[in-house]
Amino acid sequence: MNDLYASRTIARDSQLLLKKAEQDLLETVWDRYQSQLPNCGYCEMGLSCRICTMGPCRIDPFGEGPQRGVCGADADIIVARNLGRMIAAGAASHSDHGRDLVEVLDEVSRGKAAGYQIRDAQKLKRVASEYGIGADGKEILQIAGELAHAMQEDFGTRKKGLTLLQRAPTKRREIWNKLNITPRGIDRETSEMMHRTHMGVDNNWQTLLLQGLRNALSDGWGGSMIATEVSDILFGTPKPAATAVNVGVLKKDQVNIIVHGHNPVVSEMILRACQSEDLLQLAGQKGATGINLAGVCCTGNELLMRAGVPMAGNHLTTELVLATGAVDMMIVDYQCIMPSLGSAASCYHTRMISTSDKARFPGMEHREFHPDNAAEKAREVVREAIENFPNRGEVYIPVEPVNAVGGFSVETIVDALGGTAQPLIEAIKAGKIRGAVGIVGCNNPRIKQDFGHVNLAKRLIENDILVVDTGCAAVATAKAGLKIAEAAQMAGPGLREICAAVGIPPVLHMGSCVDNVRILVLAAALANALGTDISDLPIAGAAPEWYSEKAVAIGAYFVASGVYTVLGPMPPITGSINVVKLLTAGLKDVVGATFHVEPDPNKAAVAIRRHIEERREHLGLPFVKV
């Protein structure tokens, strides 16, 4: 295999499709990354500021050129402001996703969203009661309406704290109160971050970062958490299901439709349409043996978690899947959708459909989905995908799919353990499982695709550390065969034993990126069961290949919630050693957890193991010195 392809990705399907893309003269994200080099060091260090037109400004890291922007902001302030805005953008994205789901819940409650329904009424009642909404004597739809209304309040200005914060341990909430970073309103914190980072508002780098933590928390315990819970209510709480991953999930003899983006409000309707009798018949008439729905990125993860729908790839594969020539239609909504996809698709017969009024793309046809028309629109576009099937040119699906198991919601994990988290706690106490790590996040062309995720996961399970993962990371480990029962053979003896006993793989797929809150909920539940704070637990987080602003928000809310988090790529903070020191060391005394940056997944695993053993010692559990 050509060294160039192997240097870009460890995934075989990506390597083979990179070769095809080169033959097809298809420009990829990797090509565009190379053209961008060298990256501007000011921007990489966080030392360029474009916030006002007295600038744009940059600070000379060598100390001789300008040390302050035109307004007088120094490196610490500029770096902190830039980081704050990244968190705001990430939090806003997740929270808007949550908002759209609440809107659907509301429309469902009023009978205005044909095709949508309440799939998990028990969860609806549980979550409603957390909002102080009783279930007695009420119709399900009435509860849904009241819950939607109450959740909408969490987005606003009226409250002093978000409702679902009560799930966090008391000690954790006290820390947030003392620091004045308890999030008050989901949109409010993002708005305040944008305000604080305007020229001449918050010019204290520490308080800017604290607002960053608060904004991130308004995402983690707010927008994202609402998104996941409402998705479970509307579409069902995930249960374990067999599935498959990589480009091999595309089928030569079936209509292939790929959903890309994030919100299940679109992808669930596409799924329904793909399963409808009359459209399946139409597919047969066109010479296909069926309609094969597959996903890329988070919306694919949502379908995988709930219905075992296969995943064709993760972030860096989104262009390459088109090079198979087998994709009759790609349907997108929002987030992480590269604007190059329209022109990439034009090299093949693939039709590209955008569905969100918030997200238009060059070279895509816009068919706008709303709660009241989504079911019908889904049928329309699926019909058109079927009609595109005969237009295929050369089809190149160069690999067989890899099996995987997904669907590990917190509810599922607890069920698998027999109804309570106690068996997991016992296993951790005894040391059979040293601790648990959530590997999350994206791909990034700076890092060989999947190299960070897969190697970190392997090292951790070898160390008897249970791994849970989400997002693109989850697809990476699935592609590498880590999500089947047999993968327990790669784990250390303790974890292997537990996996065999419980019937789980050593790496558990917990969902999409908003589903990172499932990890928070699990951590909170464990902490509550042990009577500790989240920061006391032998757990850690890792984002070995992150690229997006959403990832910055997620990392920030994990650390703010007490979870030590290791990053692969360096965030744009090296321009301020003060900020670097606070995030990687000082935060320990503030929120009980820090960030750590380590691009080598093997070294990251050692750092994590060391942290976990130190937490074990701190809890009085048997530990080893690392």
Partner 1 sequence: MKKVIVHSERCVGCMQCMAACAITHSKTRDLFSAVLETPLPKPRIHVGVGLFNEGFPNRCRHCDPAPCQLACLPGAILRDLEFDTVLIDPDKCINCASCAMACPFGVLRYHEHCFAPPGKVVAVKCDNCIERQMQGLIPACVEVCKVHALTFEEPAEALKRKTDEVARSVSAGVSQSDLTVGFTLLNTHKRKQIELGRD
List contacts with partner 1 (CB under 8 A). 7, 37-42, 44-45, 58, 60-66, 75, 446-448, 451, 568-570, 574-577, 580, 597, 599-600
CB of 618 to partner 1, least distance (A): 29
Can you give the three-state secondary structure of 403-438, one letter per residue? EEEECCCHHHHHHHCCCCCHHHHHHHHHCCCCEEEE
CB of 40 to partner 1, least distance (A): 4
CB of 31 to partner 1, least distance (A): 14
Helix (H, G, I), strand (E, B) or coil at 332: strand
- Read off the tokens for 124: 């609806």
Backbone torsions φ then ψ of 228, nearest 5 degrees: -65, -45
CB of 63 to partner 1, least distance (A): 7
- The rounded distance, in Å, linking the Cα atoms of 95 and 419 is 31
CB of 445 to partner 1, least distance (A): 10
> CB-based burial of residue 623 (10 Å sphere; 0-12 exposed, 13-18 middle, 19+ buried)?
middle
Q: How many residues does the structure list for the chain?
A: 626
CA-nearest of 543, 17, 554, 600 to 313 is 17
Task: Give the distance, in angstroms, between the CA of residue 36 and the centroid of all CA atoms in the same chain.
Answer: 26
CB of 385 to partner 1, least distance (A): 37
Of the pair 75, 265, the CB lying nearest partner 1 is at: 75
Of the pair 107, 545, the CB lying nearest partner 1 is at: 545
DSSP H helices in 308-339: none
What is the bridge-based pairing of β-strands 311-313 and 435-439?
unpaired
Helix (H, G, I), strand (E, B) or coil at 392: coil
Instruction: Check: CB of residue 332 under 8 Å from CB of residue 262.
Output: no
Helix (H, G, I), strand (E, B) or coil at 597: strand
In the DSSP assignment, the letter for residue 2 is -
CB of 569 to partner 1, least distance (A): 7
What residues are paired with 403 via a beta bridge? 244
Of the pair 66, 390, the CB lying nearest partner 1 is at: 66
Say which residue the tokens 């600070």 belong to. 59
Of the pair 99, 315, the CB lying nearest partner 1 is at: 315
Of the pair 395, 570, the CB lying nearest partner 1 is at: 570
Of the pair 358, 446, the CB lying nearest partner 1 is at: 446
Of the pair 3, 278, the CB lying nearest partner 1 is at: 3
- Read off the tokens for 289: 């043996």
CB of 280 to partner 1, least distance (A): 45
Of the pair 559, 580, the CB lying nearest partner 1 is at: 580
Q: Euclidean distance between the first and final Cα of the chain, in Å?
A: 38
Peptide bond into 538 cis (omega under 30): no
Q: Please write down the long-range contacts of 145-149, taking CB distance under 8 Å and 24 or more positions apart.
A: 145/106, 145/109, 145/110, 147/105, 148/102, 148/103, 148/105, 148/106, 148/109, 149/106
Of the pair 38, 137, the CB lying nearest partner 1 is at: 38
CB of 584 to partner 1, least distance (A): 10
Helix (H, G, I), strand (E, B) or coil at 113: coil
- The rounded distance, in Å, linking the Cα atoms of 379 and 115 is 11
CB of 602 to partner 1, least distance (A): 9
CA-nearest of 431, 413, 537, 539 to 494 is 431
CB of 568 to partner 1, least distance (A): 8
CB of 238 to partner 1, least distance (A): 34
Of the pair 374, 582, the CB lying nearest partner 1 is at: 582
Of the pair 67, 391, the CB lying nearest partner 1 is at: 67
Helix (H, G, I), strand (E, B) or coil at 600: coil
Of the pair 7, 275, the CB lying nearest partner 1 is at: 7
